[in-house]
Amino acid sequence: MIRNLAATVQGFTSNVFLVTGERTVLVDAGNGFDVASGVREYADGLDALVLTHTHSDHVGNLPDVVEDFGVDVWGYDTDQDGVDRQLTEDEPVQLGDDSYEVIHTPGHKNDHVCLYAPESGVLFAGDLVFANGGFGRTDLAEGNRELLIDSIQRLLERVDHLEEMHTGHGPSVDHNPRQDIELALQAARMR
Protein backbone atom coordinates (compact mmCIF):
# COMPACT_ATOMS: atom_id res chain seq x y z
CA MET A 1 0.00 0.00 0.00
CA ILE A 2 1.24 3.47 -0.91
CA ARG A 3 -0.04 6.56 0.92
CA ASN A 4 0.95 10.21 0.46
CA LEU A 5 1.35 11.54 4.00
CA ALA A 6 1.69 15.11 2.71
CA ALA A 7 -1.52 15.08 0.66
CA THR A 8 -3.31 17.60 2.89
CA VAL A 9 -0.29 19.61 4.04
CA GLN A 10 -0.24 23.29 3.11
CA GLY A 11 3.19 24.83 2.69
CA PHE A 12 6.62 24.22 1.23
CA THR A 13 6.98 20.44 1.17
CA SER A 14 7.31 17.54 -1.19
CA ASN A 15 5.01 14.58 -1.32
CA VAL A 16 5.95 11.94 1.25
CA PHE A 17 5.03 8.37 0.40
CA LEU A 18 4.63 5.68 3.04
CA VAL A 19 5.06 2.27 1.43
CA THR A 20 3.85 -0.54 3.67
CA GLY A 21 4.20 -4.28 3.32
CA GLU A 22 7.12 -6.62 3.88
CA ARG A 23 9.39 -3.60 4.36
CA THR A 24 7.88 -0.32 5.56
CA VAL A 25 9.67 2.58 3.88
CA LEU A 26 9.21 6.31 3.58
CA VAL A 27 10.04 7.78 0.17
CA ASP A 28 11.22 11.34 0.87
CA ALA A 29 10.76 13.07 4.22
CA GLY A 30 9.05 16.30 3.25
CA ASN A 31 9.44 19.55 5.16
CA GLY A 32 7.68 21.49 7.88
CA PHE A 33 5.04 19.04 9.14
CA ASP A 34 4.76 16.16 11.62
CA VAL A 35 5.49 13.23 9.34
CA ALA A 36 6.07 10.84 12.29
CA SER A 37 2.42 11.07 13.33
CA GLY A 38 1.38 10.22 9.80
CA VAL A 39 3.64 7.18 9.79
CA ARG A 40 2.28 6.00 13.15
CA GLU A 41 -1.30 6.29 11.88
CA TYR A 42 -0.64 3.53 9.32
CA ALA A 43 2.40 1.60 10.56
CA ASP A 44 4.14 0.49 13.74
CA GLY A 45 7.45 1.90 12.58
CA LEU A 46 9.78 2.31 9.63
CA ASP A 47 12.51 0.14 8.17
CA ALA A 48 14.14 2.88 6.10
CA LEU A 49 13.88 6.35 4.60
CA VAL A 50 14.70 6.50 0.87
CA LEU A 51 15.35 9.84 -0.82
CA THR A 52 14.72 10.71 -4.44
CA HIS A 53 17.08 13.68 -3.94
CA THR A 54 18.23 16.11 -1.27
CA HIS A 55 16.50 19.42 -1.97
CA SER A 56 15.27 20.98 1.29
CA ASP A 57 11.57 20.36 0.60
CA HIS A 58 12.33 16.62 0.40
CA VAL A 59 14.66 16.37 3.43
CA GLY A 60 13.56 19.04 5.91
CA ASN A 61 11.88 16.44 8.14
CA LEU A 62 14.80 13.99 7.80
CA PRO A 63 16.32 14.64 11.27
CA ASP A 64 12.94 14.12 12.95
CA VAL A 65 12.28 10.87 11.05
CA VAL A 66 15.71 9.52 11.98
CA GLU A 67 15.27 10.54 15.63
CA ASP A 68 11.74 9.13 15.92
CA PHE A 69 12.33 5.84 14.10
CA GLY A 70 16.10 5.23 14.24
CA VAL A 71 16.26 4.34 10.54
CA ASP A 72 19.01 4.47 7.95
CA VAL A 73 18.61 7.06 5.22
CA TRP A 74 19.24 5.84 1.69
CA GLY A 75 20.20 8.23 -1.11
CA TYR A 76 22.36 8.40 -4.19
CA ASP A 77 25.15 10.52 -2.67
CA THR A 78 26.42 9.66 0.82
CA ASP A 79 28.32 12.96 0.88
CA GLN A 80 24.95 14.72 1.33
CA ASP A 81 24.00 15.55 4.93
CA GLY A 82 21.99 12.80 6.57
CA VAL A 83 22.47 10.13 3.87
CA ASP A 84 23.80 6.92 5.48
CA ARG A 85 23.49 4.31 2.75
CA GLN A 86 24.07 4.60 -0.98
CA LEU A 87 21.49 3.74 -3.61
CA THR A 88 23.18 2.37 -6.71
CA GLU A 89 21.84 1.29 -10.07
CA ASP A 90 23.38 -2.15 -9.54
CA GLU A 91 21.42 -3.01 -6.41
CA PRO A 92 17.62 -3.11 -6.11
CA VAL A 93 15.92 -1.68 -3.04
CA GLN A 94 12.89 -3.23 -1.32
CA LEU A 95 9.93 -0.88 -0.73
CA GLY A 96 6.84 -2.52 0.72
CA ASP A 97 6.41 -5.84 -1.08
CA ASP A 98 8.21 -4.89 -4.29
CA SER A 99 11.79 -4.76 -5.48
CA TYR A 100 12.63 -1.41 -7.09
CA GLU A 101 15.34 -0.58 -9.58
CA VAL A 102 17.31 2.57 -8.87
CA ILE A 103 17.62 4.83 -11.92
CA HIS A 104 20.05 7.75 -11.56
CA THR A 105 18.30 10.72 -13.18
CA PRO A 106 20.30 13.96 -12.81
CA GLY A 107 19.22 17.24 -14.33
CA HIS A 108 17.02 18.59 -11.53
CA LYS A 109 19.74 17.78 -8.99
CA ASN A 110 22.89 15.67 -9.34
CA ASP A 111 21.83 13.10 -6.73
CA HIS A 112 18.32 12.59 -8.15
CA VAL A 113 17.01 9.04 -8.61
CA CYS A 114 13.78 7.45 -9.72
CA LEU A 115 12.64 4.13 -8.27
CA TYR A 116 10.88 1.61 -10.52
CA ALA A 117 9.27 -1.74 -9.70
CA PRO A 118 9.03 -3.70 -12.99
CA GLU A 119 6.71 -6.40 -11.63
CA SER A 120 4.04 -4.08 -10.26
CA GLY A 121 4.68 -1.21 -12.69
CA VAL A 122 5.09 1.41 -9.96
CA LEU A 123 7.41 4.41 -10.37
CA PHE A 124 8.52 6.98 -7.82
CA ALA A 125 9.59 9.83 -10.12
CA GLY A 126 10.69 12.41 -7.55
CA ASP A 127 11.02 15.80 -9.25
CA LEU A 128 12.09 14.48 -12.65
CA VAL A 129 8.58 14.45 -14.15
CA PHE A 130 5.08 15.29 -12.96
CA ALA A 131 1.47 14.70 -13.97
CA ASN A 132 0.32 16.23 -17.25
CA GLY A 133 3.82 16.55 -18.71
CA GLY A 134 5.44 18.73 -16.08
CA PHE A 135 9.14 18.34 -15.38
CA GLY A 136 11.61 19.39 -12.69
CA ARG A 137 13.16 22.81 -12.49
CA THR A 138 16.62 23.24 -13.93
CA ASP A 139 17.25 26.80 -12.72
CA LEU A 140 18.42 25.73 -9.24
CA ALA A 141 21.95 24.74 -8.22
CA GLU A 142 22.99 21.55 -10.06
CA GLY A 143 20.11 21.96 -12.51
CA ASN A 144 20.88 21.20 -16.15
CA ARG A 145 18.23 21.06 -18.88
CA GLU A 146 20.23 18.79 -21.22
CA LEU A 147 20.92 16.31 -18.40
CA LEU A 148 17.25 16.40 -17.45
CA ILE A 149 16.20 15.62 -21.03
CA ASP A 150 18.67 12.71 -21.14
CA SER A 151 17.33 11.43 -17.80
CA ILE A 152 13.72 11.54 -18.97
CA GLN A 153 14.69 9.70 -22.16
CA ARG A 154 16.56 7.00 -20.19
CA LEU A 155 13.59 6.66 -17.85
CA LEU A 156 11.27 6.06 -20.81
CA GLU A 157 13.64 3.38 -22.08
CA ARG A 158 13.63 1.59 -18.71
CA VAL A 159 9.93 1.65 -17.76
CA ASP A 160 8.18 -0.64 -20.19
CA HIS A 161 5.36 -1.74 -17.84
CA LEU A 162 3.99 1.30 -16.00
CA GLU A 163 0.75 1.33 -14.00
CA GLU A 164 1.31 4.09 -11.40
CA MET A 165 3.58 7.10 -11.12
CA HIS A 166 4.09 8.87 -7.79
CA THR A 167 5.70 12.26 -8.15
CA GLY A 168 7.51 14.61 -5.79
CA HIS A 169 4.79 17.25 -6.12
CA GLY A 170 1.20 17.23 -7.29
CA PRO A 171 -1.05 14.25 -7.91
CA SER A 172 -0.01 10.69 -8.58
CA VAL A 173 -0.92 9.26 -11.98
CA ASP A 174 -2.73 5.92 -12.24
CA HIS A 175 -4.01 6.15 -15.81
CA ASN A 176 -1.45 5.79 -18.61
CA PRO A 177 1.45 7.44 -16.74
CA ARG A 178 3.84 6.72 -19.61
CA GLN A 179 1.97 9.39 -21.59
CA ASP A 180 2.76 11.95 -18.88
CA ILE A 181 6.48 11.09 -19.11
CA GLU A 182 6.39 11.37 -22.90
CA LEU A 183 4.71 14.77 -22.60
CA ALA A 184 7.37 15.87 -20.08
CA LEU A 185 10.11 14.87 -22.51
CA GLN A 186 8.44 16.81 -25.30
CA ALA A 187 7.97 19.88 -23.10
CA ALA A 188 11.54 19.77 -21.75
CA ARG A 189 12.91 19.68 -25.30
CA MET A 190 11.09 22.91 -26.23
CA ARG A 191 13.14 26.05 -25.74
Domain 2-189 has CATH 3.60.15.10: yes
Write out pLDDT tens, residues 32-91.
999 999 999 999 999 999 999 999 999 999 999 999 999 999 999 999 999 999 999 989
Boundaries of every domain in the chain: 2-189
pLDDT average, residue stretch 120-126: 97
Alpha-carbon distance 137 to 147, whole Å?
12
In this prediction the pTM is: 0.97
* CA dist., res. 136 & res. 145, Å (int): 9
Residue 178: which H helix or E strand, with range?
A: helix 177-189
